[in-house]
Amino acid sequence: MSTPGTTTSAVPVNLHIVNTNSDTFVQLPATGCSTSVYYLSPSHKKYDAIFSVLLTAQTTGKKVRAKFDKCVNSTSNPFGNIVGVYLND
């Protein structure tokens, strides 16, 4: 995927940091090249803000849409690379 994609609205599920590098994953609806798992890089300039929105949405049951710019990992199990997040009304 060369242009950004956006997931459909959903409550984030299973937001987790998997290692000491702070690699972060969350489950949202599968869209485009991505499976239902999306990756948030700890090097993203707005990592703290995006993580906060995802965590708040997950704990309060609010829906979000994630914007992703490409798929990372492998072609057999690709993860969308999150570049932004929108909190729904």
Q: Say which CATH number the domain at 61 has.
A: 2.40.50.70
CA distances from 18 to 8, 35, 61, 68 (A): 25, 18, 22, 20
Mean pLDDT of 42-62: 97
Instruction: Give me the chain's average pLDDT, please.
Output: 91
Residues of the domain holding 60: 5-87
| Domain count for the chain | 1
Nearest to 75 by CA among 35, 18, 24, 36: 35
Mean pLDDT of 72-89: 87
pTM of model > 0.95 = no
